[in-house]
Structure 1
Amino acid sequence: MKRYFPILEWAPAYSRATFAADLIAALIVTVMLIPQSLAYALLAGLPAEVGLYASIAPLVLYALFGTSRTLAVGPVAVASLMTAAAAGQIAASGSPDYLAAAVLLAFLSGAFLLAMGLLRLGLVANFLSHPVITGFVTASGLLIAASQLRHILGVKGGGQTLPEIAESLWPNLGSINLSTVLLGLAAMAALVAARRWLKGSLIGLGMSAGTAGTLARLGPMIVVIASILVTVLLNLPASGVAILGEVPRGLPAPALPRLDPDLIARLALPALLISIVGYVETISVAQTLAAKRRQRIDPDQELVALGASNLGAALSGGFPVTGGFARSVVNFDAGAETPAAGAITALFMALATLFLTPALYNLPQAVLAATIIVAVLSLVDLGAFRRIWTYSRADAAAMAATVLVTLGKGVEMGIIAGISLSLALYLLRTSRPHMAVVGQVAGTEHFRNVLRHHVVTVPGILSIRVDESLYFANTRALEDRILAEVADRSALKHVILMCPAVNDIDASALESLEAINHRLKDAGVLFHLTEVKGPVMDRLGRSLFLRDLSGQVFLSQIDALRTLAPEETQAALCCPRADSLKRVS
């Protein structure tokens, strides 16, 4: 039961001291989560209270099923943007059908994640390469920031892509509201100052690091309270400053979303993409924080926990949620010891929904937009392109393509392009595996590339090493390389294929090995294998390949050379060892 309910591992040892630590962390995260949940709901095109709803049940369910002690689940920027993009294809923002689509997205995402968790498909995170993830997150951050400019400027606008946003903003630039601009810029400046310099400044004034850190984390809430007071005192709504307005009090009654088959069909792919992106972000954050405390994360169980959290969000009228990086780091730094901190946060959020919403009536939308912009711009990493380009131009090209597609065509097309590019790059790279003709390093039993090292080779024997598993995409390259090398050696008697890096041989590769064996045999050349791994050897043993093999399978390369060319091999072993490395460009 502990495998499916990790709470059974930590709950029996839960103590008063642990509760105190979780309580403090929950208070700090709640202060951060209230404005974020409101802001991300508006980013998703939903009523503000939906963000509060999505910050209650999911946190409780993650506490039951999650394996991370410090992950903070809830609304996040990227998932909110993807929700807006998907629901916007169904209905107009603010309509009942739009809300129904957002809730159904949470339900479908939860169902997908739960199914993948039960099937133990945690490896799904491996289908997105790091450069593609970086490109997608960077582009999403820029797209989110651009989408909030209309609130900062106090004008109308919209759109799901950068061209659409620019096209909608341009005609309205003449009606910019100066009061809104000043308020939004002031909020951004205060939020940036609190994030970057407040803690250091307080420490410089003699305050302890812990107290200074806590006050710095209260920066967003201080900005929210100050903006409400300024709005009331200066009567800013009379100057055209848009405010949040009435946020309904009370908790939603649990209910199933509208399970319309046609709507499910239209939202299935967006929900799957939200699930994958949300899981990748969640598992990355969870593993990073767990490593700092030498704790363990179960990727498959995290799928179950995140699936349950999204189902909880759907049943309580919320939208898709995932593990948030900023909130999780704050939760970690605040000293959270167990997932109970999330459950306590949910309790505080429920109390806020019941009693604090009237106080949010005069909260300017420009301040919520500033909160989003400051949060998402920290995700933008434009310098990553230069670093990746220096190391791998193919990966840098994939990152650039992901950024451009996301900005130009939207988040759904961006993530589809990212996944496609990741798989295409893998197929391209592995379809052209590195293969090297090798020789013996004098005085040793080691074999190295003849182009990189001074080695001893034996006339009549070709030793070639393949540095990749063999499968349908690269078998032609292996055949072509071996046959080309054989064609250049008229006195050849033996071909040895070294397989230390071959972890798998699929059916297509097996047929290629059989074809190589027959062609070499017809040419009077024996075909041998060396250093074949046990699992690969087991599979070969179930075929006819070993029976028809013209040569032998040797445990090691040195064993093969001792058998096929004992005198030359012994002479190479007796030679004094010198610097074997060739100076190649």
Structure 2
Amino acid sequence: MRERRLQFDRLWAGLKPGGYPPDALVADLLAALVVTTLLIPQALAYALLAGMPPETGLYASMLPLVAYAIFGRSRTLAVGPFAVVSIMTAAAAAQVAAHTDIDSTSAAITLALLSGVMLMTMGTLRLGFLINFLSRPVIYGFIAASGVLIAASQFGRLLGVPASGQTLWAIVEALWQHRAAFEPLTVLLAGACLAWLIATRWYLAALLSALGIGETTAGLLGRTGPILLVLASTAASAAFDFDGHGIATVGKVTAGLPALALPLPPIASLQYLWLPALLISIVTFAESVSMAQTLAGPRNEQVAPNRELAGLGAANMVSALSGAFPVSASLSRSVVNDEAGARTRAAGALTAVGVAASALFLMPLLAYLPLVTLSCIIIVAVQSLIGTGSFIRAWRYSRQDGFAQLATFAVTLILGVSGGLMIGVALSLVIYIYRTSKPHYAIVGLMPNSEHFRNVRRHGVQTAEHVTILRIDESLYFGNARFFEQVVDEIRRQQPGLTDLVLMCPAVNFIDYSALESLELISDKLERHGVRLHLAEVKGPVMDRLQHTAFLKRLNGNVFLSTYDAWRTLVQDTPSSR
């Protein structure tokens, strides 16, 4: 509690004029202005992507930012609506609406509350270490497929037809069924919007730099394309009555700040929402911590996963109180926040103030905003999620990781976001178990004029006919215990003159009960064939556990501190060597 109080005091000190250095205040204000400009159109677009009223996108961009500033750790992580989480929300809410009489808006709010509680609970239980068990290739494959689904889901609005679905095939099928109803004016406007967004995204910054504007300033101004498009298309819609000409617009938008209320989750919805909430929590945690670590690296800052869990959990619970949907960190806005020079987490709170001002004074104008504009913003925004670079790098480095990434990508497109993520995580666990079930091992020998031992297949080393030193490069557990037994049996069969087998264990961090029984079985087999079993370089924690077992008492060999000690003891008096 005291730590939270200190965090709040530091945040408040950052918000008070004169509370911290003027240059930090100016930097945070500038970053907040830039991020607010980028956030408003994205918030509206991602609200529609989540199947929510557009104003809820702004609600999800106010108090959640303040909550993260108090409870989170990263100074530049920009929390708020996120495309992948929005499409996961839409899928889960649609499932609830299809099986119960609960509307999708209530389901999305409940989803935010459940995700927040789960994230906060994980942070309280200090489960941040779980981030280490999430396979990056699987996450990358899931994110890329989600980007494809998000972009595909917007083509209905770009063509002026109702076309939706949770899988790529469902979306394509819906578009094909409505192929005769495409709206020419909507298609024309979509083409113009996409051309503008692509041109400003890729060329505006270079053009401004060529005109003499500083590189940093030009880069930030180059990201203003979406807000300029929103202003221009809204003005054109109001002037030329787009809605009357068949171009769908946002329509009436509720102005003002969110009315805070404690959402009471309908019991009937929980059986459909607990799993999507868990999956959203996983994606939110994995992506947010990865972004925070990437941004903190150049500044040599530390990222505390448990603090991030608490900050993200608080942000989602507050989003539910605001009547909005689940939130996460956004890569594009986080990068902009960092490039704009944000110095403290107060920049996020100041961004929330800017969004609140927009919600109070700009909402009536958004009624004229064409929906196709928001769809184009979504499509261009998610294109960074669909890069092929990570697929190529993963495949070149490891066929197994590359396969896991491609499989997750394909399954997500076929089954949708929830099914794709679950199968991807399961696949990564299967691959891990497969890898560790056949650990790397090597028969080693002594390097000449040294006390070091290396693989006999890679180096010219000294060995002995009657002694084999087997180096184990993995911890021993139930998944590889039988494989280890087979390796030892094969060595004994191939070396009939073997009298001593030394297990070199510098990489063995633990031995579970199944592996212990395998060691006992190996020792008994070797003893029946006149072979002694020895251990070398056993780590202290592993040795502590072995000392309380019958294995060491029955062991017919020795436990050596180093492999060289074993070599001297077993080989120094033997004249024959090979």
TM bracket (short chain): over 0.9
Partner of 1:333: 339
Tell which deviates more after alignment, 245-254 or 3-12.
3-12
Find the residue that maps to 2:385 and give its secondary structure: coil
CA distance in 2, matches of 1:123, 1:412: 23
Matched, 1:51 2:57: yes
Shift of 1:232: 2.3
1:170-207 per-residue CA deviation (whole Å, 9 max, x = no partner) reads 12111111111121121111112211111111110111
Residue 378 of structure 1 aligns to a residue whose secondary structure is: helix
Find 2:355's aligned residue among 331, 343, 349. Answer: 349
CA distance in 2, matches of 1:478, 1:210: 58
AA aligned to 1:321 is V
User: Does 2:3 align with 1:2?
Assistant: yes
- Structure 1 portions without partners, runs of 5+: 573-585
Indicate the larger mover: 238-247 or 386-395: 386-395
* Residue 389 of structure 2 is aligned to residue 388 of structure 1: no
**Which residue does the alignment assign to 2:496?**
490
Q: SS at 1:2's partner residue?
A: helix
Partner of 1:519: 525
Between the aligned residues of both structures, percent identity stands at: 51
Counterpart amino acid of residue 131 in structure 1: P
Q: Number of residue pairs matched?
A: 571
TM-superposed deviation, 1:14: 2.8
- Structure 1 residue aligned with 2:16: none
- Match of 1:448, SS state, is strand
* Residue 7 (structure 1) shift: 5.0
Identify if the C-alpha distance between structure 1 residues 196 and 569 changes in structure 2 by more than 3 Å, giving closer, same or farther. Answer: farther
Structure 2 partner of 1:240 = 246
2:378 equivalent to 1:372: yes
Pair 1:202-2:208 in alignment: yes
- Larger deviation, residues 511-520 vs 47-56: 511-520
Aligned to 1:33: 39
Query: What is the Cα deviation at residue 451 of structure 1?
Result: 1.7
Is the Cα contact below 8 Å between 2:119 and 2:281 reproduced in 1? yes
**Aligned partners of 2:11 and 2:69 also within 8 Å:** no
SS of the equivalent of 1:463 reads strand
Given candidates 426, 439, 442, the residue that maps to 1:436 is 442
Q: Distance in 1 between matches of 2:168 and 2:335?
A: 30
Give yes or no for contact 1:438–1:450 (8 Å, CA) kept in 2. Answer: yes
Among 16, 26, 31, the residue aligned to 1:20 = 26
SS of aligned partner of 2:386: coil
Q: Secondary structure at the match of 1:89?
A: helix
**Paired residues for 1:210-359 under 5 Å:** 210-359=216-365
Alpha carbons 1:438, 1:448 under 8 Å: kept: yes
Structure 1 residue matching 2:451: 3-state secondary structure? coil
The structure-2 alpha-carbon separation of the partners of 1:487 and 1:9, relative to structure 1 and needing over 3 Å to count, comes to farther
Of residues 528, 533, 542, the one that matches 1:536 is: 542
| Unpaired runs of at least 5, structure 2 | 14-18
Aligned residue in 2 for 1:113: 119
Any idea what the Cα deviations from partners look like across 1:75-125, whole Å, max 9, x if unmatched? 1000001001111101169x9621110000000001111111111111222
Structure 1 position 174 matched with structure 2 position 180: yes
TM-score (norm 1): 0.94
RMSD: 1.9
CA distance in 2, matches of 1:92, 1:490: 70
Letter in 2 for 1:514: E
1:535 alignment partner AA: P
Q: 1:72 aligns with which of 51, 56, 78?
A: 78
Q: Residue 98 of structure 1 corresponds to which residue in structure 2?
A: 104
Distance (Å, rounded) in 2 between the aligned partners of 1:521 and 1:205: 83
Whether contact under 8 Å (2:476, 2:508) holds in the other structure is yes
Are 1:405 and 2:405 counterparts? Answer: no
1:579 aligned partner:
none
How far, CA to CA, are the matches of 2:278 and 2:342 in structure 1? Answer: 31
CA deviations 1:395-444 (Å, max 9, x no partner) are: 11111111111001100000001100110000000000011111112222
Secondary structure of the structure 1 residue equivalent to 2:471: strand
For the residues of structure 2 that align with 1:383 and 1:288, how far apart are their CA atoms? Answer: 17
Q: Distance in 2 between matches of 1:570 and 1:50?
A: 81
Q: 2-side partners of 1:240 and 1:331: how far apart?
A: 38
1:509 corresponds to which of 498, 509, 515: 515
TM-score by length of 2: 0.96
In structure 2, do the counterparts of structure 1 residues 116 and 532 end up closer, same or farther at CA, with 3 Å as the change threshold?
Answer: same
Contact conserved, 1:6 with 1:66, CA < 8 A, in 2?
no
Deviation at 1:209, TM superposition (A): 2.1
Give me the whole-angstrom Cα distance separating, in 2, the residues matched to 1:235 and 1:353: 23
Tell me: CA distance 1:225–1:242, structure 2 relative to 1, closer, same or farther (3 Å): same
* Aligned residue type for 2:512: D
Q: Distance in 2 between matches of 1:320 and 1:259?
A: 14
